Amino acid sequence: MGYFTWTDARYEKPKLNRYGDFASSDVINYGRYAKVVCPDDTEIVEPHYDGYGIFDGKDVYELVVDWNKAHLKEIYETLEKENPNFWGLETKWAAIAFQNDDEKALQEAIDNLAEMTSFYREDWKRTIGITISCERNDKIPYPIKITKKKWHCKYNELYPSISTQ
């Protein structure tokens, strides 16, 4: 997977400039300090963010799946309703099996996904996280919030980060 660029989670919503882009000051920069603020207000610090979604060894795309586990079915139903051709919908059955703690159905769904591409065998959870967060992070119950702030932040006080891809 390629780089993932996100806006800085702030106390106000980032605004697009007249060219339709976010200002460079609003974007999480590669190679610099960044941290994920979690729904329980803990923070995962990465001194040199590399753009792949890994913070102190933890995958933010897997974390967002865990945070939203109880809501995965409704998230996918909304995705499907908004756009029946939305990319990533093939992961729906794995997401629902994970939500239901149904190991047998999850393994079946992963096996089916792996028939399309072997990537899914190892990265099924990361792919679900990318599917639910990259294009509609601000619409899920517990969105990704990445910030450049070095002081302690409270999750509920920050606007969600926005994917700029």
In a domain, 35, yes or no: no
The C-alpha atoms of residue 66 and residue 152 are separated, in whole angstroms, by 22
In a domain, 87, yes or no: yes
pLDDT value, residue 118: 87
The C-alpha atoms of residue 163 and residue 36 are separated, in whole angstroms, by 14
Domain of residue 88 covers 69-133
In a domain, 74, yes or no: yes
Q: How many domains does the chain have?
A: 1
In a domain, 89, yes or no: yes
Q: What is the mean pLDDT of residues 84-108?
A: 94
Which tokens in the block code for residue 35?
Answer: 């941290």
Q: How many CB atoms lie within 10 A of CB 9?
A: 27
pLDDT value, residue 61: 96
In a domain, 96, yes or no: yes
Residue of 30, 36, 33 lying closest to 9 (CA atoms): 36
In a domain, 107, yes or no: yes
In a domain, 46, yes or no: no
Q: What is the mean pLDDT of residues 5-26?
A: 84
The C-alpha atoms of residue 74 and residue 141 are separated, in whole angstroms, by 10
Task: For residue 151, give every residue at least 6 positions away whose Cβ sits within 8 Å of its Cβ, in sequence order, or none.
Answer: none
pLDDT digits (tens, 9 = 90+) for 27-85: 898 999 999 999 999 999 999 999 999 999 999 999 999 999 999 999 999 999 999 88
Q: Which of 20-24, 38-42, 85-89, 127-131 has the lowest mean pLDDT?
A: 20-24
pLDDT value, residue 75: 96
Q: Which residues pair with 43 in a beta bridge?
A: 37
pLDDT value, residue 12: 84
In a domain, 124, yes or no: yes
